[in-house]
Amino acid sequence: MIPAASRPSVRAAPARAPDSLGFGCASLGSRIGASAGLDALAAAFDAGITWFDVAPAYGAGDAETLLGRFLHGRRDHVSVTTKVGVAPPARLGMLKAAYALGRPLIGMAARLRRGFRALSATRNRRVPLGAELIVHSIEDSLRRLRLDHVDVFALHDPDPGDVGKEEIIRALESVLARGQARAIAVAGTLEACLAAKAVGGPYSVLQMSTQSLASAQAQFVGGRQRLVTHSVFGVNGGMRERLVAALRGRPDKARRLISLGYDSRIEQAAADLLLDNAFAQNPNGIVLASMFEARHRAANLARATRPLSAAAPELVRELLA
């Protein structure tokens, strides 16, 4: 279990917010520029968000550095996750220039964002895991974050076979022993998370997509590891698009959703239902969401502060059937 935060040293404590909502920082420094990103992080913190998820590859390699700037004076009130195993795209200078020029357009259009991510030059790279990489990666991350430790250090999208390798386990245990991390995680596919569950120590946190957890939830019930989920709306929003299409094609289903208290606007109802589904699938863990836009932040907080909707997962299955 992650230790509770202690008293603040500089900034006052954030407002009270649900412990179930975390801020995913994948776009910090790439699609989201430094100034806008720092403002969004501060607004989320002031609203009570205290779990921040980052990685060396995020934000075209700049996310950790920017998050480190944000953390100054706030460290005692937040939990920070970073990772090892995925590197930024090889042609980083060209990518950063492209983001700087295209950020306003990419920020406005979901289709443009998907097209930009599909370009090979913008894709992050998996790197072979090994003890030396783990040692250097945590040191580099702590330097960029300006921290002496992170709360969670995760293997990022590992091959399931790597999770149980003795060399890797010993290197991760050394990270814990040196106090560079408070907990070790696997952040990846369902198969990798199941491998970590089988191994047990040192893995105390498992991070996967909401859809992965939904497909194998029974295998994690009663487990010792804390669960963190992401991709609330599916990869690139695919599940939300499917749900919107289903509701538009079946007005009776849309009317039923409205009768249950969801918004009469189909797009908003679909988003709210999928948020409810994510919290219901992972009631005792953390649901990661991107909250760089004020309207997304408000929507995420609104759903996170509502009582859990136990019916949401079945509703999603029924509507997509």
Q: In the chain, what are the domain boundaries?
A: 21-88+124-230+285-307
φ/ψ (deg, to 5) at 109: -125, 120
The partner residues of 81 in beta bridges, in order of sequence, read 53, 152
DSSP string over 274-305 = HHHHHHHHSTTSEEEE---SHHHHHHHHHHHT
Q: Which two tokens stand for residue 107?
A: 């920020």
Domain 21-88+124-230+285-307 architecture? Alpha-Beta Barrel (3.20)
pTM across the whole model:
0.87
Q: Tokens 């779990």 belong to which residue? A: 51
Q: What is the pLDDT along the chain (321 residues), one digit of tens a residue?
A: 444 333 333 456 666 557 899 999 999 998 899 999 999 999 999 999 999 999 999 998 999 999 999 999 999 999 999 999 999 876 555 555 555 555 555 554 555 555 555 554 567 889 999 999 999 999 999 999 999 999 999 999 999 999 999 999 999 999 999 999 999 999 999 999 999 999 998 999 999 999 999 999 999 988 899 999 999 999 888 999 999 999 999 999 999 999 999 999 999 999 999 999 999 999 999 999 999 999 999 999 999 999 999 999 999 999 988
